[in-house]
Amino acid sequence: MNIRCSVTIVSLALSFVMAWSVTKVRFNPFVGSIALTHAIVLSDSNLCKRSIPDELLTAKVFAESFSQMLAKCIHLIIESESVEQLSIRVPHEWRNDIAKNPENHSGRVVYRFDYMFNAQPEGLWAIALPNVGQNIAVFLNGDLLGWGGSFEVPIARNSSNPQLFTISNGQFKSGANAIDILAVSYPPDHGFLGNVYIAPLEMLLPAHQRYTFFKQTVTGVIAVVLLISALLMLALWWRRPDESEYSWLALVILCWFIFALDQYIIKVPIGQANWDGMILMCRGVMCIAGVLAVHRFLNVQEKYHQIEQWVLITGGILALVILLVSWFSPTPLYKNIWSGLSVIGGGYIFSMILLETLKRNDNLSYLLGLSGGGVLTLALYDLLVIYQLRPLYEGFYFHYSAPIFLTALSAVMMQRFIVSLNETERSTAKLLQLNRELENRIDERGRFIAKSYETIFELRRKQALVKERARIMRDMHDGIGVYLNSILYQLKADKLDRHYLKESARCALDDLRLMIDSLGSVSGNVSAMLGMFRTRVSSTLEACNITLEWRVDELPELPNFGPEKSLNLLRLLQETVTNCIKHSNANVLSLSAYVQIDQNSLLYVVVELQDNGKGFLTDAPSKGNGLLNMSHRAKKINADMSIVSNERGTRVTIRLPVHED
């Protein structure tokens, strides 16, 4: 732990040194460049217009041109007897003068530099103003060299936009040369004039390009990176709404982006007072959002719940009050208080990260805490500028700390991504293993089910075989067995009835044939079944002088019409033919089969047997069990049977459903 503390101290010191070195970046022209250090300053007492419209630059008709208005303003200030002339050294800040006499500063000042050349300089020269408060216009010997942008309120801001104006050959003259710089700043306490250099263009241009790259290009890149980072954090929060630290972190980075934008843009889109109020409010919002983000990042929000409530309530009220006060009464005191509180909040944020990560031994989050050394260094530097402990013309540098923070944050986010990726890979590997185990179990269960199915199939086959055997035995017992027992009984009698023995044997043989027909492959095919039946009974009917009339249509197969039902149907038909031969005295027997559809659209196969015999009384008591057995067999095959008999003959109708319910 002592080693870790030592490393922390050394790392913070290095972070401080690296950040402080950023504040030492200056405009460094080649040796031999002429620095103008002494000037006379003249403050405008409302002699010039506060705002010069930009449309004068493009207007075709005007009373005074843009350059004429600027020249007139400088002339009025210089020639006015009421304007006090002060001798000053450059760099020069206005806020010290404003503090002494705040009511008499209009925000417009003319700096006059006099420089003597012993001989007229040759070639192309330039004048460089690397640090100016807001906007300037430069005149050399009464001729306009250039200006820094719009003079229409809100005017152009060039505090982070170094200015360089070329001086044509011959514009400098031998002897005294007057360089007049009109500096304008609203509000006035933002005004200053930094170092002023004159030299041949080739001596100033490289330094100007380097300094412009640092002040403008780098700042613009930082602003773009911050905006992209804020959008990425918002995207992460949108994808993972439960991790609210991303939303607060996005707000922190968005405020940082606004600070960078403040140093980058030249003309603000809203009034300068409103813009300054927004920047001031962003300092507090950034601090509040940072506290909430770090608590959630370290997962200590429950522990510091009361602190969060205090920060939200107090910070929100102060932000609103200071914003309103800054708009209506732009007093530096409020800005100083709020900026100081914001820096204190930043110190709390990074010290919290360091302390918590030291406890947890989290190296990358510890790196994020160490980045706070650089961030706080530049924040403290800007605070010193606000408190007038550092010169205003050196500029603000807090936005340059963003790369330090973003680098550490990127490392932490990368670590989180790698940890999540590793967890995902482990989870995927575990899921694959579980999937393989599940597949093995499914395969094993499938094999077990298949084996069980085979066992069940074999058992069902055996049961069906046993059932079929039992049926055949029952049919043989009820059919052939009865006839054989009758024959055996007759053989035991003293007197043989050969006719009875012959009839019983014939019936036994017919029943055996019916059983054989029912066991064939025609079960369910009524047409084929009737065809075999016709073959069996044709010779018998012919021997009895009975003509068989055959009218069978094409019939559908009957599903689930197995051997047992086939045998019952054949016995039913056989019983009908037998009754016709024995009792009807008919000489014609008609067998017809056709398809019938009832009123419910149900399909039936109808088999009719009709003779032309003497008929019988269907209501008369029956001497035997023939009709009763026929009704019983019809019920067993789920058929409707009807018998109609009169003096013209007997008709037996059997109606079989094609599709059983």
Alpha-carbon gap, residue 333 to 331, rounded angstroms: 5
Alpha-carbon gap, residue 70 to 44, rounded angstroms: 13
8 A C-beta contact, residue 164 and residue 208 = yes
Q: Is the pLDDT reported for residue 389 higher than 60?
A: yes
Alpha-carbon gap, residue 382 to 76, rounded angstroms: 37
For 407-454, the pLDDT digits (tens) are 888 887 887 788 888 888 888 899 999 998 998 989 888 888 888 888
Q: Strand 125-129 to strand 163-167: parallel, antiparallel, or no bridges (unpaired)?
A: antiparallel
How big is the chain, counted in residues? 661
The CATH number assigned to the domain holding 612 equals 3.30.565.10
62 phi and psi, to 5 degrees?
-155, 155
Q: State mean pLDDT over 322-338.
A: 64
List 199's β-bridge partners, or say none. Answer: 126
| Residue 11: partners with Cβ closer than 8 Å, 6 or more residues away | 370, 373
User: Residue 141 falls within a domain, yes or no?
Assistant: yes
For 116-148, the pLDDT digits (tens) are 999 999 999 999 999 998 899 999 999 999 999
8 A C-beta contact, residue 164 and residue 147 = no
Q: Is the pLDDT reported for residue 546 higher than 80?
A: yes
Q: State mean pLDDT over 627-634.
A: 81
8 A C-beta contact, residue 188 and residue 276 = no
Reported as type and span, the H/E element at residue 284 is helix 272-297
pLDDT value of residue 477: 57
362 and 254, same structural domain?
A: yes
The CATH number assigned to the domain holding 202 equals 2.60.120.260
pLDDT value of residue 571: 80
Q: When comparing pLDDT for 344 and 608, which is higher? A: 608
pLDDT value of residue 331: 58
Q: Write down which residue in 213, 231, 250 finishes a domain.
A: 213
239 and 358, same structural domain?
A: yes
Q: Is the pLDDT reported for residue 149 higher than 50?
A: yes
631 and 554, same structural domain?
A: yes
Q: Is the pLDDT reported for residue 661 higher than 60?
A: no
207 and 242, same structural domain?
A: no
Window from 204-213, 241-250, 587-596, 617-626 with minimum mean pLDDT: 617-626
Q: HSE of 54 in the Cβ direction (CA atoms, 13 Å)?
A: 10
Please give the full DSSP string across 294-335, using - where no structure is assigned: HHHHTT-TTTTHHHHHHHHHHHHHHHHHHHHHHHH---HHHH
pLDDT value of residue 41: 92
Q: When comparing pLDDT for 627 and 220, which is higher? A: 220
Cβ atoms within 10 Å, residue 565 = 20
For 59-78, the pLDDT digits (tens) are 666 667 888 888 888 888 88
Sheet holding 649-657, edge to edge: 547-552, 588-597, 603-611, 649-657, 640-646
List of long-range contacts for 534-538, beta carbons under 8 Å, 24+ apart: 534/591, 536/510, 537/574, 537/577
Alpha-carbon gap, residue 218 to 212, rounded angstroms: 9
8 A C-beta contact, residue 558 and residue 605 = yes
8 A C-beta contact, residue 77 and residue 143 = no
pLDDT value of residue 500: 63
* Centroid of chain to Cα 639: 66
Which range, 87-91, 347-351, 551-555, has the best average confidence (pLDDT)? Answer: 87-91
Q: Write down which residue in 213, 245, 272 finishes a domain.
A: 213
Total-model pTM: 0.67
Q: Is the pLDDT reported for residue 189 higher than 80?
A: yes
DSSP state of 441: H
Q: Strand 547-552 to strand 38-43: parallel, antiparallel, or no bridges (unpaired)?
A: unpaired
Q: State mean pLDDT over 181-207.
A: 92
Q: Is the pLDDT reported for residue 374 higher than 60?
A: yes
Alpha-carbon gap, residue 539 to 548, rounded angstroms: 10
Question: Rounded to the nearest 5 degrees, what angle is found at the Cα of 319, between the Cα atoms of 314 and 320?
Answer: 105
8 A C-beta contact, residue 385 and residue 392 = yes
Sign of CA dihedral 147, 150, 153, 156: negative
User: Residue 6 falls within a domain, yes or no?
Assistant: no
Alpha-carbon gap, residue 287 to 89, rounded angstroms: 38
330 and 371, same structural domain?
A: yes
Alpha-carbon gap, residue 232 to 239, rounded angstroms: 10
pLDDT value of residue 333: 63
343 and 373, same structural domain?
A: yes
Q: State mean pLDDT over 598-626.
A: 78
User: Residue 471 falls within a domain, yes or no?
Assistant: no
Q: How far apart are the first and last CA of the chain?
A: 87
* Tokens, residue 511: 């029943």
pLDDT confidence of 365, banded at 50, 70, 90?
low
pLDDT value of residue 353: 72
Question: Rounded to the nearest 5 degrees, what angle is found at the Cα of 510, between the Cα atoms of 562 and 490?
Answer: 130
Which range, 85-89, 501-505, 581-585, has the best average confidence (pLDDT)? Answer: 85-89
Q: What share of the chain has pLDDT > 70, as a percent? A: 82
170 and 296, same structural domain?
A: no
207 and 86, same structural domain?
A: yes
For residue 392, which of 97, 16, 65 has the smallest C-alpha distance? Answer: 97
337 and 225, same structural domain?
A: yes
pLDDT value of residue 482: 56
User: Residue 25 falls within a domain, yes or no?
Assistant: no
For 205-254, the pLDDT digits (tens) are 999 999 999 999 999 999 999 999 999 999 999 988 888 888 999 999 99
8 A C-beta contact, residue 471 and residue 496 = no
Q: Is the pLDDT reported for residue 273 higher than 50?
A: yes
User: Residue 150 falls within a domain, yes or no?
Assistant: yes
pLDDT value of residue 184: 92
Question: Rounded to the nearest 5 degrees, what angle is found at the Cα of 358, between the Cα atoms of 355 and 360?
Answer: 110
pLDDT value of residue 65: 80
User: Residue 208 falls within a domain, yes or no?
Assistant: yes
Q: State mean pLDDT over 513-524.
A: 60
pLDDT value of residue 521: 44
For residue 590, which of 604, 611, 619 has the smallest C-alpha distance? Answer: 611
Q: Is the pLDDT reported for residue 345 higher than 70?
A: yes
338 and 241, same structural domain?
A: yes
125 and 254, same structural domain?
A: no
Give a three-class secondary structure readout of 137-187: EEEECCEEEEECCCCCCCCCCCCCCCEEEEECCCCCCCEEEEEEEEEECCC
8 A C-beta contact, residue 55 and residue 411 = no
Alpha-carbon gap, residue 286 to 441, rounded angstroms: 57
User: Residue 86 falls within a domain, yes or no?
Assistant: yes
User: Residue 498 falls within a domain, yes or no?
Assistant: no
Q: Is the pLDDT reported for residue 617 higher than 60?
A: yes
Q: Write down which residue in 179, 195, 213 finishes a domain.
A: 213
Average model confidence (pLDDT) for the chain?
Answer: 82
**What is the domain count for the chain?**
3
pLDDT value of residue 194: 92
Range(s) of the domain holding residue 292: 216-424
60 and 181, same structural domain?
A: yes
